Chains A and B, each alone.
Chain A
């Protein structure tokens, strides 16, 4: 089955999840993962699966999600507000790792385990899947370049991406550096290596493979952003989805984020 009408989207909605995060000291402007921020859902602990990482079907800092007894899941609505201008994103966290040596400037082997079948088309190919380096413990006073070697969604190995936005000295927990794609690539199927251009001196980081499900935000302080099944064109949430929150804020001040996340199934 599939939900193909507004009536279907209404009939299938699950209870609304309220979320609230208080993010202290995000670097700015930068993508910022809220899994380590206090609030609802609870704070995640940094992953520890090792370099090859773990494919995720649940994670303690995620928004609640249950697979449907039958049929499919879709985004019903996603809203956010905060005490400043920002974008809020809910993304599916597919894979994460640990064990990267932040002082090592050589190529560090990752050879990721297979990502779950939750790319943009519900497969393991990786279409629409991006990778970011997430700060798990505050970094030292350095600004290394970051280079990723990956296999693209067509299965072509030896592809290279770099952090799109420059790293920030002393990056705070949750800082989220998204990697570029090479040429005509549509996404990432697997990761082979990570290389830091210089030592980051201290702290800890992990890689995250993810796919952004929906965006909303506040174009003025405290304004509420909202998107739903229609305006987001029936965004599919595949079984095992691990919905997590990410923001892009202009300020380095502590902010309070609130919103709702609702799924419809049928």
Chain B
């Protein structure tokens, strides 16, 4: 089956999953911030202990609760949010994350990720549309390293490299999220081989996260609520076992309140 009409959208709707978070750390304007480790609704996640090769995720405490359809498919029905400061709120599927990175090492650290789940844009393990971010899981120390990730792209080509698209910041707070770019011509990441910093980050801890952005919500004014729906997001697929979490890109440094809801439709 598939959701092919507005009738299907209404008929297959599931109850709204709420999120309510207080972004207490100091934010950095324009830098993504993962809300994964913040208390609220849903509850706070604890950092992974899976080791360098990481874990493929089919659920994880701290995600927006997701239930697979009895049969058929799941598509995003509505995504609504409001924040005390403007910016952009991203709904993402968390495919994989790891632990064990040495933030003081400047050598190449071997990752050799386990296979990501079949939740790329096409519902396969190829990695099309899958991006990688560096998520701070305990506040870092001094240093502003450039991060280089070695990966295999969505076509299976190995030895691709990319660096953090946004400069790192010393003393990054827990939740700070640095997206890694893609090498020219690539459209996603199938697996990760290496991680390397150009300088020490002195202390703290980070995880690599493989994720796919499901929807972006433009919060074009402070405090203003906004929504996108099935039509405006073109019926984005949420594959079975989606592990949903939120990333906020603030326009200013002000700590803020974030709340909203996610609705999906199944059929």
Contacts and interface: CB of A to CB of B under 8 A. Distances in A.
Say whether A and B bind each other: yes
Interface of A: 2-6, 9, 29, 31, 85-87, 120-121, 127-128, 130, 162, 164-166, 178, 180-186, 211-220, 225, 227, 229-236, 248, 250
Contacts of B80: 215
Given A219-B221, A231-B229, A235-B15, A183 B43 contact: yes
Contacts of A128: 15-18
Contacts of A2: 11
B69 to A, nearest CB: 13
B12 A180 contact: no
B10 A9 contact: yes
Contacts of B222: 85, 250
Interface in B208-267: 220-227, 229-230, 257, 259-261, 263-265
Given A2-B11, A235-B13, A217 B39 contact: no
27 contacts: A3-B11, A5-B11, A6-B10, A29-B84, A29-B223, A86-B225, A120-B14, A120-B15, A130-B18, A180-B40, A181-B40, A184-B60, A184-B61, A214-B16, A215-B80, A215-B260, A225-B225, A230-B6, A230-B10, A233-B14, A233-B230, A234-B9, A234-B12, A234-B265, A235-B16, A235-B263, A248-B259
Contacts of A165: 22, 257
Contacts of B44: 180, 183
B80 to A, nearest CB: 5
Interface in B51-86: 59-63, 65, 77-78, 80, 82, 84
Given A6-B7, A128-B16, A164-B39, A232 B221 contact: no
A233 B78 CA distance: 8
A154 to B, nearest CB: 11
B190 interface: no
Nearest to A228: B10
Nearest to B21: A164
